[in-house]
Amino acid sequence: MSGIEERLRAVEQAVADLQDALRPTGGDTPAAAPADGALWALTELEARSPGAVLMAGSVGLPGDEGTVRWQYARPSEVLLDADWSELSATLDALAHPARLAILQHVLGGVHSTAELLEQPSVGTTGQLHHHLRQLVAAGWLASTRRGHYEVPAARVVPLLVTVLAAHR
Rg (CA), the chain: 21
Task: Note the pLDDT of residue 12.
Answer: 65
Quick check: 25 pLDDT over 50? no
Task: Note the pLDDT of residue 118.
Answer: 95
Beta bridge partners of 69: 58
The tens digit of pLDDT for each residue in 68-77 reads: 999 999 999 9
CATH topology of domain 84-166: Arc Repressor Mutant, subunit A (1.10.10)
The tens digit of pLDDT for each residue in 102-152 reads: 999 999 999 999 999 999 899 999 999 999 999 999 999 999 999 999 999
Domain ranges of the chain: 3-80, 84-166
pLDDT top residue among 124 and 11: 124
